[in-house]
Amino acid sequence: MEYVFLCGVVLMQGLQVFSRKLYSTHAAGGAYAFSMFSVLAAVLFFLAVSGGELNFTPEVLVYSVFFAIAYATALVGIFFAIKTGPLSLSSLFEAFSLIIPTFYGLFFLGDEVGALLVIGLLILGASIFFVNFEKRGEEKRITPIWILYILLAFVGNGMCTVVQKMQQDAFAGAYKSEFMIVALLMVLAVLLVFSLVFERREILPTLRYSVPIGLMCGIGNGAANFFVMMLVTLKMPASVMYPLISAGGIIISYLLSRFLYKEKLSVWQNVGVLLGVLAVVLLNL
């Protein structure tokens, strides 16, 4: 059953990547509105999964607040990263964010520093170098604004995993849906305000894209988070779960960018992607 959930996580990651890129190629604005409908779909997903049987407890609220902050940061960051830079590289660096829970384990959970971790970090550094390597005269694909957005996605996505693990550990796997619903409702409220303040003129013209594609993205996000929490509840070893999720996410994003959206990377950037997959696997073993 664990590997069914693993496949589900990877496929839902692909659905999210596909949805974000699809929207960014069809609409010039409305990023917050798109994200808002995405979050709305995720809320509805968790309400459906819970079957209406929710048992809220005040202690979960703290975790929901921190998850909401991290989730909103990651959501907006990766949307604009995909919009302003290469899809494959954006997904690669987003996957690198799993190094954050790795260091969380080292510093706060007493995990040991092994040889694979050191090797993984060295390969990660090589991957980043090759991804950023561009010959003179080549089109600039790595820009300062893309770096800013991908850093937001990197930190936000990594902290989402950390907070999820903290919540599941603190409550022995309970309150999964309640935790996510409260957090997502907070994000939904913030995105609604941002959309009304910053995108008043863009909301109506982009609704025909933001509603269906945003809902599609949200279903993928909700399902992916649910599958991850189920894997945590089933006590699947992190050394198996996170490498497969990370590598699978990078590979499916690369295939989408290369064959569906026809993005072309340099030879060295392709080498960087391959090294990135290897680094992510080693860092999570």
Q: What is the pLDDT of residues 193-214, one digit of tens each?
A: 988 888 888 888 888 888 999 9
Using one digit for the tens of pLDDT, what is the confidence trace for 70-102? 999 998 899 899 888 888 788 888 878 877 887
* Summary mean pLDDT of the chain: 83
Q: Which has the higher per-residue pLDDT, 206 or 150?
A: 150
CA-closest candidate to residue 187, choices 141, 225, 244: 225
The Cα 184–Cα 173 span in angstroms is: 19
Q: Are 8 and 227 in contact (CB under 8 A)?
A: yes
Per-residue pLDDT of 10-60, as tens digits, reads 899 889 989 988 888 887 778 888 999 999 998 888 888 777 777 878 888
Tell me how far CA of residue 172 lies from CA of 112, 176, 223, in angstroms.
Answer: 23, 10, 21
CA gap 232, 173 in Å, rounded: 8
**In whole angstroms, what is the distance from residue 76 CA to residue 2 CA?**
30
**Token pair for residue 285?**
């073993």
Q: How far apart are CA 20 and CA 193, in angstroms?
A: 21
Residue with token string 């941002």: 194
Which band of pLDDT confidence, cut at 50, 70 and 90, is reported for residue 239?
low
